[in-house]
Amino acid sequence: MWEARAVPGRANELLEWARSQILAQDPVRREVFSAPQDRVLVITWWEASEGIGAELPELPEPAADLITRAVHRWRFESVEVVEPGGS
């Protein structure tokens, strides 16, 4: 998961920057979100037999004049998937 906060008024520019980034390999799935306070979030899903420590492509840092602080990155491992109507 990748999250950045744009300089006030530049959220759309940061959103377009994040959407345009090409990774060295394609994830299984990629979603891009916008949020209040000029935040942009990108979540990618990967098939990685090595688990959470696998070498995977990451979105880079945007230009310093586009963001208010360093990008935050987190990695998660799926522990459960519940389908709609499932238990």
Cα torsion at 71, 67, 26, 43 (round to 10°)? Answer: 60
Average pLDDT by consecutive 10-residue portion of the chain (87 residues)? 97 97 95 96 91 89 97 91 82
DSSP code at position 53: G
pLDDT confidence of residue 5: 98
Q: Can you give the pTM of this predicted structure?
A: 0.87
